[in-house]
Structures are given as C-alpha cells and as structure tokens.
Amino acid sequence: MADAGSLRKRSKTERMALHSGAMGDNFARLLSGLWVTVRISLISVVLSIILGVLLGMVMTIKNPVTKALTKIYLEFVRIMPQLVLLFLVYFGLTKSFGINLSGEASSIIVFTIWGTAEMGDLVRGALISIPKHQYESGEVIGLNKIQIYRYIIIPQTLRRLIPLAINLTTRMIKTTSLIVLIGVVEVMKVAQQIIEANRYTAPDAALWIYGTIFFLYFIVCWPISLLAGRLEKKWKD
C-alpha cells in the first residue's frame, strides 16, 4: 500500500514537472514569435521612413506627371487592404516572375509599400507647412537648394515626423497579425499551434494563450506609445 501511494505521488509530481516544462517551452515559443513580429515591423518602419522622406519631397515638385503618379500610388495603397497586398506579393510575384520570396520578405515589402505611402503623405504635409521664409533665409546665406533641404528643411521635417513614425510602428506591429495567412510563424501562428496541440488536454488553453498575447503586445506597444506622446509634447513646447 505504501509503495502504491508513493508511486501515485511520484507520478503526480512528474506530471506537474512536465506540465511546468511545457508551459515554459510554450512561453519561449511565444516570445520567439513576438520577436519575428517586432523584427518585421522595425525593418519596415526604417525603410518606410527613408523612402517616405524621398517620396514626400518628390510629391512637392510642381509637375503634373509627378503629381499624377504619386496620387495614383497613394490612392492604390489606401484603397487596397494590406491582406490583398500580401497575397499579391507572396503569391502573385512568385508565380508571375518566378521569384522565390519568403513570407517574411513578402511581409517586409508590403509593409514598406504601405508605410512609405503613409510617411510620404505626412512628409509632404510637413514640408508644405514649413514657412516660406525658411527657404528664403537659406538662399540669403548662400545655400543652394540641396543644402537648404539638407540643413534646414529635412531636420525640421524629421523632428515633426518622429512621433508619427513611432505611432506607425505600433500600427505595423498590430497589423502583422495578418502575415500568419501567408505562413509566417509569428506570435499568432505560434499561438494557434500551441492551442491545437493542447485542445484535448487543456480545452481552455485558447483563453490563456490569447491573454498572454494581449499582455505581450501591451508590453511592446505601450512604451512606444508613451515615447511618441512625450516626444510630441516636448517638441511642441
């Protein structure tokens, strides 16, 4: 009897240890998936800022052809859902041109296209809002047009745009949940795998897994939102 009791107690202890180990492994997998999400978002934001600044400068050129092309681009990105763009790039490009693109590369391309349009429109608005006398002051001290943009206009524009770029980062992080549909193993995909693997042993796993994901998204996005608010308040004052 004592032996049977000790065996049951030992078996229970082993099950608890295995359960704790599985929980630790699942949390590590979720963190790994979250890093994929954050990495894609950060790369896309950096590229969007660089290309968006260039696009915004091009949009201020008083040329009917340039204006028409940039307007078509902006309207296309605004009208087209990000999910459709993901499918077009991931499935369309690979099939039409024989390009072998991974899910992550396709995601970065799509989010960069989207972010560039967003940033370009913001840059255009920021450039237009800069008083005309700033340009004239640069000409008075002997700067050419490139130097005026480099030393006067672009620094002021970037200062106004950094809070908006940070907000764009949080939007991209949340929108990356769509990339699970093209097979990228990010945090939502990992969550699905964990739930499916434990649907019989832990029927309520979905509640805890998605609650954990909410907590992870909050940890990532909340400090970014606070930083954007502080920078905007600081530079506005």
Question: Nearest-5° angle of CA 26, CA 28, CA 32?
Answer: 115
pLDDT tens figures, 48-103: 888 988 898 888 888 889 889 999 999 998 888 888 888 888 888 877 777 788 88
Any domain includes 31: no
Residue 185 backbone zone (phi > 0: left; psi -120 to 50: alpha; other: beta): beta
Q: How confident is the model over 77-86, as pLDDT tens digits?
A: 888 888 888 8
Its pTM stands at 0.76
Max CA distance (Å), the chain:
100
C-beta separation of 156 from 133 below 8 A? no
Mean pLDDT along residues 199-214:
79
Segment 140-167 mean pLDDT:
79
Question: Which CATH number fits the domain that encloses residue 169?
Answer: 1.10.3720.10
Contact 219, 51 (CB under 8 A): no
User: Among residues 118, 48, 90, 117, which one has the least CA distance to residue 178?
Assistant: 90
**What range defines the domain where residue 99 resides?**
40-236
Query: Which token pair is 213?
Result: 């994901």
Q: Which amino acid is at 44?
A: S
Report yes or no on 219 lying in a domain.
Answer: yes
30 domain residue, yes or no: no
Q: pLDDT at residue 205 above 80?
A: no
Name the domain count of the chain. 1
* Confidence (pLDDT) at 220: 82
Place of tokens 């940890």: 219
